[in-house]
Amino acid sequence: MAADPASFRDPAGRVYDVGGRIVRAVARSATADFECAWNNPALKELVSAGYVIDTVDASDAAVDAPEGARLVEHPRLPFISYPYEWSFSLLKRAALHHLDLQISLLEGGVALSDATAYNVQFVGVRPVFIDALSFKPYVEGEYWNGHRQFCEQFLNPLLMQALLGAPHNEWFRGSLEGVPTPMLARLIPPAKRFSFNLWAHVLAPAKAQSSGVVEKAKRAIARPLPKSSYLGLLRQLRAWIATLAPLGVDKTVWRDYADNNSYASDEAKAKERIIADFTRRVSPKQLWDLGCNTGHYAETALANGARSVIGFDADLGALERAFARADERKLDFLPLYQDAANPSPSQGWGGVERKSLADRSNSAEAAIALAFVHHIAIGRNVPLDRFVDWLVALAPTGVVEFVPKNDAMVQRLLALRQDIFADYALETFKALIGRHARVISSETVTASGRALVIYDRR
Amino acid sequence: MPCISVTKIAAVAAVLSAMVAPAYAYIDPGMGSLALQALIGAVAGGVFAARMWWARIVSFLPGARKKPSTDADAASDKTPS
């Protein structure tokens, strides 16, 4: 049994997937710190509040762990997402979650050994800290070793969007450790440099780092850092990040689509009825909503028997509204950034450390893809058969909306270009689905001829 | 709990010698970050303490409204810069 490919950085332990059980082997050398931290009342309180993942003994688990390792088990999360798939609001929530944990734990005598964003996961839009081995007893005078990592994986990506209006997603996906501080420092325009916070956490560290101050840093950490200063750093960052807002996402193309689309109200009702009937019949534990926009149909699915929805969209403005919907209405709905024509790859060390979207689709029991096909098949020139192959492989059953060529939205896509899509038609689409799955039904829902096709490959 | 006494011993040792052995992490903490933490932390910690004291003083003034949040929350709602 090999350890999870993402579990190798910290020698204190490894994570294993044992027939669906998530088991963590704590190395013998780390058990003292582990036991000590996990017996701390402050940490116990955070676990019972759901802020930190539950951890129970699993000495019965069959894991080929090193001699003397202590085995513990965590509940399996419904879906693992990565910071490059999070919207600004999700990343900000994860950052505040990390700092809140650190502040309350430090006050209780526990410190965190790292500050990686991958240690925060979401259930709906509720954050949970998943690394049971990040905790260790706080030693008076110690420094915050995770500060640089926190800045690169949380603060800098947030500042890119808040100060420069540039989303972090593509950069973070290309650079899995986050946005390097010296890079961000170079991008900040002169007019935005006059801020103590920016100087303290970006500009000055970038300058110090580039001037190679090893001896200075060694001398600095020989003097103890007062706990009040450690807490001061955490609280200052928390207060600053709480004020950050995404620049420019209020003007994205698809943000207002739900209020401003080409549907007549009875047509929208028909669509809603079909989604409701489908989810009632299938009652999926997890449904994927491809092109979820602001989450209107995700909410319909949740109200009709879907237990959770993972939504994907490439429009960050729409995703911000989807986040607000999930948050305000307490929905088990996680809206994530994803460009379907270039989905998250399998990457990192060995090419397998972070899983591709397709590798994480086992948990999808159903899918819906509404007003989506034309963006991929026409907007991105993906041949219709390849689109169908990809879609049907993601989940065993689903509802997909076919948007015909004479529809106003497709006409908009074709307005300035040659129509090279001779086979783009409903009958061809259904025949292509038929190669992999049964077409259960096909119902026309708009005057323009949009149709909802339900398929099942089981 | 035995770990508390370990922490206490470490704390006493730190105070006595005014030195702690650098606790190296399994990740690279970054030279720039470490070299500046004492300075930035002192400023940030000082600002936080000042805000707490200010909140306490204001709460004693006649006509001060009782806020539902604690002093610490009130102080941390605002950015110190």
C-alpha distance from residue A47 to each of A16, A51, A93, A99, A101 (Å): 21, 6, 18, 16, 11
| CB-CB contact of A40 with A107 (8 Å) | no
Asked whether residue A4 is assigned to any structural domain, the reply reads no
The angle, 0 to 180 degrees and rounded to 10, between the axes of the packed helices A214-222 and B31-60 is: 40
pLDDT at A127: 98
Instruction: Summarize pLDDT for A371-401 with one digit per residue, the tens.
Output: 999 999 999 999 999 999 999 999 999 999 9
Looking at the structure of chain A, the number of domains it has is 3
Percent of chain A's residues with pLDDT above 70: 97
- Domain contains A259: no
Helix (H) or strand (E) holding A279: helix A265-282
Residue with tokens 């017996």: A39
Alpha-carbon distance B51 to nearest alpha carbon in chain A (angstroms) = 12
Q: Give the pLDDT band of residue A162 (cuts 50, 70, 90).
A: very high
Domain carrying residue A327: 265-456
Q: Determine how β-strand A366-369 pairs with β-strand A287-290.
A: parallel
For residues A342 and A392, membership in a common domain is answered with yes
Q: Do A419 and A271 reside in the same domain of the chain?
A: yes
- Domain shared by A380 and A449, yes or no: yes
Residues 6+ apart with CB under 8 A from A415: none
Q: Which residues of chain A have a CB within 8 Å of the CB of B45?
A: 226, 228-233
Same domain assignment for residues A212 and A269: no
For the ranges A32-41, A233-242, A359-368, A384-393, the lowest mean pLDDT is seen at A32-41
Please tell me which of the candidates A140, A204, A233 has its beta carbon nearest to residue B41.
Answer: A233
A101 and A127 in one domain?
A: yes
My answer on whether A92 and A232 are in the same domain is: yes
Q: What is the mean pLDDT of residues B41-67?
A: 84
Mean pLDDT value of segment A282-293? 98
3-state secondary structure of A310: strand
Are the Cβ atoms of B79 and A239 closer than 8 angstroms? yes
Is residue A30 located within the same domain as residue A120?
no
A105-154 pLDDT, tens digit per residue, is 999 999 999 999 999 999 999 999 999 999 999 999 999 999 999 999 99
In a shared domain, residues A355 and A399: yes
Query: How far is A198 from chain B, CA to nearest CA, in Å?
Result: 9
Q: Using the beta-carbon criterion (under 8 Å), do A12 and B3 form an inter-chain contact? A: no
Spatial separation of the C-alpha atoms in residues A32 and A25, rounded to whole Å:
14
Burial class (CB in 10 A: 0-12, 13-18, 19+), B2: exposed
Which ipTM was obtained for this model?
Answer: 0.75
A316 and A432 in a single domain? The answer is yes
Residues of B in contact with A193 (CB under 8 A): none
Rg of chain B over Cα atoms, rounded to whole angstroms, equals 18
Going A301 to A337 to A343 to A424, the CA torsion angle's sign is positive
Same domain membership, residue A284 and residue A222: no
State the alpha helices, DSSP H only, in A59-144: 88-107
Helix (H, G, I), strand (E, B) or coil at B52: helix
Q: Per-residue pLDDT for B78 more than 70?
A: no
